[in-house]
Amino acid sequence: MHKPYDTFENLRQHKARLLNSVSLTSGIQLAAWYNREDRVTQQSDHHTLSLYLNDGQDTWHKTAGGWRNGGAPDRFCLMPQQSESTWDVRGDLTFAHLYCTDAHLRHLAEQIWDRRPASICLDEKIFCDDARITQLYRHFLLSCDWQQAANHLTLSTASTLLITHLLQHYSNVQWQAPQVRGGLAPSVLRNIVAWIEEQLDESITLADLAQQAGLSEFHFARMFKQSMKLAPHQYVMQRRMAKAEQLVRQTQLPLTDIALACGFSSASHFSNRFRSLFGYAPSLLRQQQSRMEQK
């Protein structure tokens, strides 16, 4: 387990208010913050990718030529390890951070390209725009409950995609992503599908699935999608909800037990996910089933 991230701990010593946080099994950490009227200097032994979520227009960065601003919703900042930056947050700012180490970058680079870069250096970026970073943050990372184990596959997938994007566009490596042609071998796919069915009550990560297939996360995710026409996190959630609907219809198990059996750590989150997919709450389906059986 990685020691506490410097930037995370530093912000906790300032006025910043932690809104949400999760540590993934890989050691990568996500955090969402709110800050106002605070001056913070950061120098860390890790990399930080920040996305401004709300406000930020009155956030200032200290440069050799003086203070400059340029923050706004969906602007990102990339702060490589050992880079020092000082920030003056004069107005409201809500932002999300992804923290990762040099080891994470190296591991992912070796997995994707099957070769070891002599060194990896990320570029410092301040108040920049990147539609792909915004999409991955907002669509994947910020659209789900970080505290739910059922969502950890989505979070780990999005984190991998973000770091891959950084390597390709904001580093000294910038190798082209290898082409992945064809899907998983039928026997491997059968084993993966069977393994997923057995693990629906557990937290599943992209690393878990890739390990079962004997592939890197990068190659597994692309080959699985070729085979199933769904990304791994979409398929796993589909199977969780199919199992949930079956248990609601065919058993008398309490909804809390069904939620746990399908990988959700709270009945309310399970109910919300069920309603968004089927258009009605599981409790309503249970009532309808009961009335039909009484006729």
pLDDT, tens only, 55-95? 999 999 999 999 999 999 999 999 999 999 999 999 999 99
Model confidence at 162, in pLDDT bands (50, 70, 90)?
Answer: very high
Question: In Å, what is the CA distance from 50 to each residue of 104, 105, 133?
Answer: 17, 17, 10
DSSP assignment of 191-215, as one string?
Answer: HHHHHHHHTTTS---HHHHHHHHTS
Q: What's the pLDDT tens digit per position in 163-219?
A: 999 999 999 886 776 677 789 999 999 999 999 999 999 989 998 999 999 988 888
Place of tokens 């050691």: 27
DSSP annotation of 164? H
Q: Taking 80 as the threshold, does the pLDDT of residue 279 lie above it?
A: yes
Question: In Å, what is the CA distance from 189 to each residue of 138, 212, 228, 257?
Answer: 30, 10, 9, 29
Report the mean per-residue pLDDT for the chain: 92
pLDDT reported for residue 240: 95
- Tell me the pTM: 0.85
Question: In Å, what is the CA distance from 190 to each residue of 103, 194, 208, 228, 237?
Answer: 32, 6, 16, 11, 18
Q: Which tokens go with 116?
A: 């070891």
pLDDT reported for residue 217: 87
What type of residue sits at position 183? G
DSSP annotation of 45? S
Q: What's the pLDDT tens digit per position in 224-251?
A: 999 999 999 999 999 999 999 999 988 9
pLDDT reported for residue 266: 85
